[in-house]
Amino acid sequence: MKILVTGGLGFIGSHTVIALQKKGYEVIIIDNLSNSSLKVLEGITSISFKTPEFEKLDLRDKLGLKEFFVKHQDVSGVIHFAASKAVGESVENPLLYYENNIAALTYLLQNLVKLPEQNIIFSSSCTVYGEAEDLPISEGAPVKKAMSPYGNTKQIGEEIITDTCKANDKLKAISLRYFNPIGAHPTAEIGELPLGTPQNLVPFITQTAIGKRKELSVFGDNYPTEDGTCIRDYIHVMDLAEAHVVALERIMSSKSKENFEVFNVGTGIGSSVLDVIKAFESASGENLKYKIVDRRPGDVVAAYADTQKANKTLGWKAKRSLGQALKDAWEWEKSQDKS
Ligand code: WQD
């Protein structure tokens, strides 16, 4: 069975390709290489001994996309990762985000609804919940007004898919709302490749430990949490990757009654920034240099997932620990330093 992975050379995409190959799927990747590299294809091959089919294509290229689907009518499912993901950049350049994340999604769906098999998994984010009133956060929690154009594209993306499902009986979709994906493949052949200075906590930690950054700034220690730092739900990227495969299998086997469903993908465990630092130090054996600075505007105090729906309905549960994820992230960082 052939699965199309858009953005399949990116961080979560590449790990999902591995999870798909492990289950015997044939994978075809589309990526425009704007935030990824062909080296990732080599990394995938050295893990799975299978090179996925690859086409360099930008989803905004309407004609190119149409031609792609004319050639690949036999795609049984699509996992759609290709999108821009930097919150700050989206505030500076909102139109880029609306074009990359919204226009591209509509073009993809226009082609998908003409295929014999119409299944799509959408990359969404816990950012749609904003500062949730109840913890852990369940899928029933209200979607809040987005704080950034990036967050807005995830909300609008879900709405576009909902409406398209209503108008097309054959279309089945699942939106996965990710909490905080971290880590790397345990072989250290693939991992996260942040462009420039990392905005996310874990790549900043590993780059500091290796000496690429002077020290980590911890954004605020006066939040209403036990140690005063913010709480997040950090999930190993391979656990997240495997959630995509089970979600796709659910819609491909028509197990769901609804043709659009939403699932939280997290571990259900909340960790503070200081917890992550301590866990990193013990996983790596390194001492991390850090200082407490002002809060970062826009950060929510705490977010962690109620995972019951994913556990029961998808039969999926995160199985890797925070320590394992940080160890894998560290091994990946060290392997990058050598190359
Ligand atoms: C985690 C914690 C920071 C960096 C991410 C994505 C966002 C969305 C949700 C995407 C926070 C603290 C960070 C640093 C720090 N998902 N921190 N020093 O904010 O939860 O957002 O997940 O689809 O797009 O960015 O993740 O890794 O940026 O921060 O103290 O240098 O670490 O304040 O508490 P966040 P993050």
Alpha-carbon distance of 157 to 128, in angstroms, equals 11
Alpha-carbon distance of 136 to 271, in angstroms, equals 12
Q: Name the catalytic one among 150, 223, 234, 304.
A: 150
User: Is any atom of ligand 1 closer than 6 Å to the C-beta of 199?
Assistant: yes
Domain boundaries, the chain: 2-182+234-265, 201-231+268-332
Report CA(249)–ligand 1 centroid distance (Å): 30
Query: What is residue 195's predicted lDDT score, i.e. its pLDDT?
Result: 87
Pocket test for ligand 1, best of 202, 231, 265, 273 (most atoms within 8 A of CB): 273
Instruction: Please give the number of the atom of ligand 1 that sits closest to the Cα of 87.
Output: 24
Q: Quick one: three-class SS letters along 185-200?
A: CCCCCCCCCCCCCCCC
Report CA(201)–ligand 1 centroid distance (Å): 6
User: Is any atom of ligand 1 closer than 6 Å to the C-beta of 87?
Assistant: yes
Q: Give the residue ranges of DSSP H helices in 168-290.
A: 201-210, 237-252, 273-284
| Residue 63 and residue 38 in contact, taking contact as beta carbons nearer than 8 Å | no
Token look-up 């821009």 returns 84
Is 150 assigned a catalytic role? Answer: yes
Report CA(318)–ligand 1 centroid distance (Å): 20
Alpha-carbon distance of 14 to 10, in angstroms, equals 6
Neighbouring C-beta atoms of residue 13, cutoff 10 Å: 25
Coil, strand, or helix at residue 323?
A: helix
Query: What is residue 339's predicted lDDT score, i.e. its pLDDT?
Result: 67
Neighbouring C-beta atoms of residue 112, cutoff 10 Å: 23
Instruction: Please give the number of the atom of ligand 1 that sits closest to the Cα of 202.
Output: 27
Report CA(29)–ligand 1 centroid distance (Å): 28
pLDDT in tens, 206-234: 999 999 999 999 999 999 999 999 999 99
The H-or-E segment that residue 155 falls in is helix 149-167
ipTM of the complex: 0.96
Low-confidence ranges of the chain (pLDDT < 50): none
Nearest CA to ligand 1 atom 10: 125
Backbone φ/ψ region at 260: left (φ over 0), alpha (ψ -120 to 50), beta: beta
User: Is any atom of ligand 1 closer than 6 Å to the C-beta of 177?
Assistant: no
Instruction: Please give the number of the atom of ligand 1 that sits closest to the Cα of 200.
Output: 27
Q: Spelled out in words, what is the top-level CATH class assigned to the domain 201-231+268-332?
A: alpha beta
User: Is any atom of ligand 1 closer than 6 Å to the C-beta of 125?
Assistant: yes
Report CA(128)–ligand 1 centroid distance (Å): 14
Q: Write the DSSP symbol of residue 137.
A: B
Q: Spelled out in words, what is the top-level CATH class assigned to the domain 2-182+234-265?
A: alpha beta
Nearest CA to ligand 1 atom 30: 218
User: Is any atom of ligand 1 closer than 6 Å to the C-beta of 218?
Assistant: yes
Query: What is residue 255's predicted lDDT score, i.e. its pLDDT?
Result: 77
Query: What is residue 50's predicted lDDT score, i.e. its pLDDT?
Result: 97
Query: What is residue 77's predicted lDDT score, i.e. its pLDDT?
Result: 98
User: Is any atom of ligand 1 closer than 6 Å to the C-beta of 127?
Assistant: yes
Nearest CA to ligand 1 atom 3: 219
Query: What is residue 338's predicted lDDT score, i.e. its pLDDT?
Result: 72
Report CA(161)–ligand 1 centroid distance (Å): 26
Coil, strand, or helix at residue 227?
A: coil
